[in-house]
Amino acid sequence: MKEKLKVVHFLNQFFGQIGGEVKANVGPMITEGPLGPGLAINQALAGEGEVVATIICGDNYFAENMEAAVGEIAGMIRKYNPDLVLAGPAFNAGRYGMACGEVCKVAQRQLGIPAVTAMYEDNPGVDLYKSDVVIVKTGHTAASMKAAVNQMVNIGKKLLDREEMSPNADGYFPQGYKKNIFSSEQGAKRAVDMLLAKLNGQEVVSEIKLPKFDKVPPAPPIKDLSKAVIALVTDGGLYPAGNPDRIEASGATKFGQYSIDQVDSLSSEQYEVNHNGYNNAFVEADPNRLVPVDVARELEKEGYIGELFSYYFATTGVVTTLANSKRIGESIAGILKKNHVDGVILTST
């Protein structure tokens, strides 16, 4: 008799039924058997397997203590020696999606266990982990839970059986890999067929997914800088000491707005950098190198610019997804427009 598949399931504090945002700082814990979406996983397995354990970790704890959380969770998974690890679905929850992606990545790379998760296309975890982990496409909310779980289980089985899969047929995000396949028609003929279909207004399906780029019209020039309100914005990760908004050191999902009203220069004692990927020492020594409050104040006093806006805005640029970058940028722009800011000095690393 074939042995049942053993599945370990990863959830955040909400889907793990221990609480909402107030429990987001809870560290990794484990319980026997399925919880929440794990019950749907057992149904989808239809007797061929079962969730033997559920690992729960708070979103904030994981994001702020990733290395420690991953180590604890890897140990918990190893204890059960499962055939498969499933995480989520995370839908559009950003911190949860990143945790699910990291858990699946660790399960595969460190433990050699196939793993699957599921997210909505705008979840930052998709761009960060789709090349390493199979991520099933979901709807925006948990209304698509059943379909997502069924697809996770189906793909998990295929991974275990080493079956051929494709993003279009199996409903997961393309991973950026190109495969050589045999075709009965030469490339030249296929290309001409695509061109003819396009000229005739028919649907054209490319063999290679082409990137899409937004066209952003440039803003008109400022007519008179001496009367303009100028704001400072950075994606270099400079925050007041202690990083009060807990903005991530990579893969940012939010930004901060900090007062510089009547401040002539930023001091190293009052500010810190929380940003991976570049040498922070020079900015830590003099924060004005990244957010040039000192020079901007001089320009204001000289009348070269009309006024320095009384807040600066900061986020972290490294590995921040396009979706989050767009959302953060639009949010900052909305605040600036509301306050009649005329221009921005945007600094980076």
CATH code for position 49: 3.40.50.2300
Any domain includes 211: no
pLDDT, tens digit (0-9, with 9 covering 90-100), for 115-169: 999 999 888 889 889 989 999 999 888 888 999 999 999 999 999 998 888 888 8
Asked if residue 246 and residue 102 are part of one domain, the reply reads no
Any domain includes 235: yes
41 with 34: CB under 8 angstroms? yes
pLDDT exceeds cutoff 70 at 2:
no
Q: How many domains does the structure of the chain reveal?
A: 2
pTM: 0.64
pLDDT exceeds cutoff 80 at 299:
yes
Domain C-terminal end among 128, 146, 170 = 170
Asked if residue 122 and residue 40 are part of one domain, the reply reads yes
The whole-number pLDDT of residue 323 equals 78
pLDDT above 90 covers what percent of the chain? 68
pLDDT, tens digit (0-9, with 9 covering 90-100), for 199-233: 999 988 777 777 777 788 888 999 999 999 999 99
Asked if residue 263 and residue 155 are part of one domain, the reply reads no
Asked if residue 119 and residue 229 are part of one domain, the reply reads no
pLDDT exceeds cutoff 90 at 301:
yes
Asked if residue 150 and residue 29 are part of one domain, the reply reads yes
The whole-number pLDDT of residue 1 equals 36
Asked if residue 27 and residue 162 are part of one domain, the reply reads yes
Asked if residue 252 and residue 128 are part of one domain, the reply reads no
Any domain includes 106: yes
Which neighbouring-strand residues pair with 50? 6
pLDDT, tens digit (0-9, with 9 covering 90-100), for 17-73: 998 888 888 999 999 999 999 999 999 998 899 999 999 999 989 988 889 999 999
Domain C-terminal end among 138, 154, 170 = 170
Any domain includes 208: no
The residue written with tokens 């990545």 in the block is 105
Asked if residue 95 and residue 31 are part of one domain, the reply reads yes
Spatial neighbors of 324 by CB under 8 A, at least 6 apart, are 94, 124, 251, 252, 253
Query: Would you put residue 171 in left (φ > 0), alpha (ψ -120 to 50) or beta?
Result: left
Domain C-terminal end among 135, 170, 205 = 170
Asked if residue 333 and residue 259 are part of one domain, the reply reads yes
pLDDT exceeds cutoff 90 at 319:
no
Which segments of 279-338 are extended strands (E)?
307-314
The whole-number pLDDT of residue 168 equals 82
pLDDT, tens digit (0-9, with 9 covering 90-100), for 216-275: 888 899 999 999 999 999 999 999 999 999 999 888 889 999 999 999 999 999 999 999
328 with 216: CB under 8 angstroms? no
Any domain includes 135: yes
Asked if residue 26 and residue 142 are part of one domain, the reply reads yes
Any domain includes 273: yes
Give the residue-averaged pLDDT of 283-302. 96
Closest listed residue to residue 140, CA positions, set 162, 160, 122: 122
Asked if residue 112 and residue 31 are part of one domain, the reply reads yes
Any domain includes 181: no
Asked if residue 263 and residue 337 are part of one domain, the reply reads yes
Domain holding 91, by residue range, is: 5-170
User: By CB neighbour count within 10 A (0-12 exposed, 13-18 middle, 19+ buried), where does 210 fall?
Assistant: exposed
Any domain includes 335: yes
